[in-house]
Structure 1
């Protein structure tokens, strides 16, 4: 059944004098305030009124019948609450992910070794969480992701590999600024495949984002960091398609898909890595990254698009452009270039 905003006053009458609506609504959202004689709900009069309610399935919607048209239900507002919930989940995910670039730079292992442990620990943590929250239905929950979930996992694995390799081959600020292209790609793909209209702020951010990418990549080519910059651009494209898929499959629990993505990435890295052994000094950083930062962030990222449009979610992700480079600056003294500051400032001035 599909939920929809509904205004049932005045209520049409059928041949038997019953108030009728067949518009699709959520039965759980029905609420009645006053009975046909003005008595508050719960009185003896209303008891007889409520006995007359009949709610039956009617095709794709719900048919509600009552001999008292004034008792026809009105839906409880839920869209605004869901929107705020989606924003809160997305924001929490970005805040959790913000130290990720710093943790990557603090590790001394090779890129492929890092991808292996990052994906393996993330996958194990998320699978444990899915098993804990879906007792008795673990297999059904994992199988419920379907082909869309598997494709999303492949895109996530590829994006994670590109992100890690980009961080290791260019300045952190460069990577995160180029990821600012995410809203541009999401807005385009979303309008084509989901018919979701991006906000004016999103479309205004697109040329600013493109200009920031051109400036950043031009400087990267001059410094010989073009490999990392191109990998960052690939991350943005893969991430945007991933967000579109998550929004498309918003009716499913795709947390197992995120776990599967970590496992796919770890499998590729196991073949490519010169070794999977890590120094003892690196283990605390890997544990925080793989068991806390990445699992929490990605579980938020697969949940938030169920409540907010993909273009809006991509704008929330842009917050990492501000937080990520500053964590690295504070932790390692890697100051972002002036062009990076200008690009970030331009993007965040657009919504204002």
Structure 2
């Protein structure tokens, strides 16, 4: 849970970084962001495994390739959604991720959720609805469907990573990054020149924020149920508006503040209950489950 909290808090600064980018469009951002992500993950692999890094990379096999494709699909569909419908609609669709993941995990992994986790998921979903309620509109059917497909692709990625937690899945991030680089090159060939400042922000977004968040996500997947992984991701939606409010005075609505407080509170209560439960188990001499 600590890994996922750090991961979600880190990636929640992404919106603030994107606000600082002046001229780059979404495909240009993704091109440079993905380059940074691939480089950072390759560096992490080298530091962790040394000469065995290439062997570990090839060892992801079909599961790792499929996970990378799903993560790339989620990233691409997200861009299509947020540029073809309202931000509120996109966030509303993404709030379905924990529920998609729970359903898929029940079918393919046989994972059952504790009642406290289900209650936290439902409370967090209410918080997301409150956050975006003021901005939900008809939007574009295409954009709304892309948002729903984003949620489905990321849930599939989570299931694959969780199911194959015995495999080093960090290289799947490189697969995802390379796929987006190729697609961005095809769509923006000859139009990739952007200011140096924007490039640096893209590198910060991909190399530090995304690299950190995704690496911790994969590490946490070895210890949390699939639905719990995606539950903690909702912190990103709640904290993102807070940073732009604090640093660039982009004032959130009352609904955003109230909904964000519900999300943060539900996740905090879920983590607190788990800590209390583990403390009782330790006193009783029972090893906490992984």
Question: Is 2:194 aligned against 1:194?
Answer: no
Q: Which residue of 2 aligns with 1:296?
A: 212
TM-score by length of 1: 0.67
Q: Secondary structure at the match of 2:96?
A: helix
CA distance in 1, matches of 2:146, 2:247: 24
Quick one: structure 1 residues 339 and 231, their matched pair in 2 at CA, closer, same or farther if it must change by over 3 Å? farther
Equivalent positions of 1:205-284 (< 5 A) are: 205-208=120-123, 216=132, 219-222=135-138, 224=139, 230-273=145-188, 275-284=191-200
CA distance in 2, matches of 1:119, 1:234: 21
Q: Which residue of 2 aligns with 1:93?
A: 7
CA offset digits 1:80-124 (Å, max 9, x no partner): xxxxxxx22222222221111221232221111111111121112
Conserved in 1, the CA contact under 8 Å of 2:235 and 2:263?
Answer: no
**Count, aligned residues:** 265
CA offset digits 1:286-344 (Å, max 9, x no partner): 22112211111111111210111111111221111221121222344433344444443
Of 44, 51, 68 in structure 2, the residue corresponding to residue 136 of structure 1 is: 51
Of 103, 121, 124 in structure 1, the residue corresponding to residue 17 of structure 2 is: 103
CA distance in 1, matches of 2:38, 2:75: 13
Q: Please give the root-mean-square deviation of Cα atoms over the aligned residues, in Å.
A: 2.8
Gaps of 5+ in 2: 270-290
Of 204, 207, 221 in structure 2, the residue corresponding to residue 305 of structure 1 is: 221
Q: CA deviation at 1:202?
A: 3.2
CA distance in 1, matches of 2:252, 2:154: 23
CA distance in 2, matches of 1:231, 1:330: 30
Gaps of 5+ in 1: 1-86
Q: Secondary structure at the match of 2:221?
A: helix
Q: CA deviation at 1:137?
A: 1.4
Q: Which residue of 2 aligns with 1:32?
A: none
Q: Secondary structure at the match of 1:148?
A: helix
More helix by share: 2
Range with bigger deviation, 92-101 or 200-209: 200-209
Of 13, 16, 35 in structure 2, the residue corresponding to residue 120 of structure 1 is: 35
Q: Secondary structure at the match of 1:127?
A: helix
CA offset digits 1:166-209 (Å, max 9, x no partner): 45566666644543222111111111111111122332345556
Conserved in 1, the CA contact under 8 Å of 2:81 and 2:90?
Answer: yes
Of 230, 233, 239 in structure 2, the residue corresponding to residue 314 of structure 1 is: 230
Q: Which residue of 1 aligns with 2:201?
A: 285
Q: CA deviation at 1:127?
A: 1.2
More strand by share: 1
CA distance in 1, matches of 2:134, 2:170: 38
Quick one: structure 1 residues 132 and 170, their matched pair in 2 at CA, closer, same or farther if it must change by over 3 Å? same
TM-score by length of 2: 0.80
